[in-house]
Chains A and B, each alone.
Chain A
Amino acid sequence: MRTAAAAAVRVLVVDDSPVDRRVVELLLRTHCGGGGGAGAATFHVTAVDSGKKAMELLGLNGQRRKQMCPSSAAATAASDANEQAIDIVLTDYCMPEMTGYDLLKAIKALGSPNPIPVVVMSSENEPQRISRCLTAGAEDFILKPLKINDVQRLRECSCARPKAAVTTDSDGTVSSSSSRKKLPSENTAKKVATSEQKTSPLAGLAMVINASSFEVSHYFQLLFKFILIAYAVLCLSQLLHTWSNGSFLSLWCA
């Protein structure tokens, strides 16, 4: 149970590449406040190099939380200090042995009433991979290399998890941090809109749009083209019908 300062967002970064792990870690730690924002939540980063280690850490975390009993203040304080509770998991997709997708499914299957949000990252921009992860329950899908804008997305995904002590904090934090962030206005509007949609049934849709905005616009283009072609075919068939009725001349005169 945290009071006072904005609660740190505890991120578990899972990536087999030491360079990527470090870059993500430093990116998250450095960009917590966007240059001195006192109210913005910091990121507390734990990094592991495999899905297996991530599951061990999360599994241990689950056991520890079950064993935690709020009997004495000392016990609670001790368990708080030792607790490696995780608010959000950020995992690479391509990893040996256990892929990010396997890890995502395993985390969702942990069976707790509040599954930990999982964000998948990948250097490959494959629509099928993206939709597969989102269908499996990923909160978001971020393309590597991570940019500063992605850090804000991560914060929003971590706030998606309902937590009694932190809910009001996180709402306030998200709105204050989003107003303080030097993001492009278009992204800021998107992010604010996304955070407002959190409680609505369209939250999932918003996540998909956010994650795969490029792919969705691509599909919209395809859809638009399809509609155009269908319309053209209809017009053509109408014309042919008219011509076949011998009213070709009247068409030209009219």
Chain B
Amino acid sequence: MAGAALRDQLSALLSSMFSQGLVDEQFEQLQMLQDEGGTPGFVAEVVTLFCDDAERIIAEIATLLEQPIVSFDKVDAFVHQLKGSSASVGAQKVKFTCMQFRQFCQEKSRDGCLMALAVVRNEFYDLRNKFQTMLQLEQQIQAYDHKQQ
């Protein structure tokens, strides 16, 4: 019963993430690969990698934007990286905010970039929280199933 409740919670969380556009069909594909390919932990590993990588990139961008003279090419390169990783994971909203960020990089607008960075950061933190909840629920479900056996 507790297992069913946990599964419902997880399923509701995933549905809301999809409906809010936080994740897209690429994320769904990763989930399918995990289920069909019999590789448990696939999604957890990729999601964790993404979160660590995104954290690093955001910090690098913040540092670059604090410089007296901003190297917009370097900022753009980092944003491009983040856009790529978020696309690979299926983090749709983060990907879109990165695309907008690149516009400001091309305009060489520091204020625009700072604003875009704030948006990317917020979206990323929001997604990261949801991912963390998702992983916790999955762990709890696995622990519960393991106990039942």
Chain A contact-residue range equals 20 to 34
What B residues does A187 contact at CB under 8 A?
none
Contacts of A23 in B (CB 8 A): 30, 46, 88-89
Per the bound structure, the CA–CA distance linking A123 and B45 in Å amounts to: 22
Chain B 42-76 interface mask (CB, 8 Å, partner A; 1/0): 10011001100100000000000000000000000
Q: What total of A-B pairs shows CB separation below 8 Å?
A: 61
Q: Are A22 and B49 in contact (CB under 8 A)?
A: yes
In this complex, the member of A26, A29, A123, A148 whose beta carbon has the largest number of chain B beta carbons within 10 angstroms is: A26
A31 neighbours in B (Cβ, 8 Å): 33, 37
Most chain B CB within a 10 A radius of its CB, from A16, A20, A144: A20
Number of interface residues of B (CB under 8 A): 25
The secondary structure that dominates the B interface is: helix
Assembled-state Cα–Cα distance A147/B24 (Å): 13
Task: Please name all residues of chain B whose beta carbon is closer than 8 Å to the beta carbon of A162 when the two chains form the complex.
Answer: none
Query: Could you name 13 residue pairs across A and B whose Cβ atoms are closer than 8 Å?
Result: A17-B81, A19-B85, A20-B85, A22-B45, A23-B30, A26-B39, A26-B42, A30-B37, A35-B36, A35-B37, A123-B83, A123-B87, A148-B33
Task: List 8 tightest A-B contacts by C-beta distance, closest first.
Answer: A30-B37, A19-B85, A145-B88, A23-B88, A20-B88, A19-B50, A19-B49, A123-B84
What residues make up the interface of B, taking CB atoms closer than 8 Å to A? 26, 29-30, 33-34, 36-39, 42, 45-46, 49-50, 53, 77, 80-81, 83-85, 87-90
Q: Mark A residues whose CB is within 8 Å of B.
A: 16-20, 22-23, 26-27, 29-31, 35, 94, 96, 123, 144-148
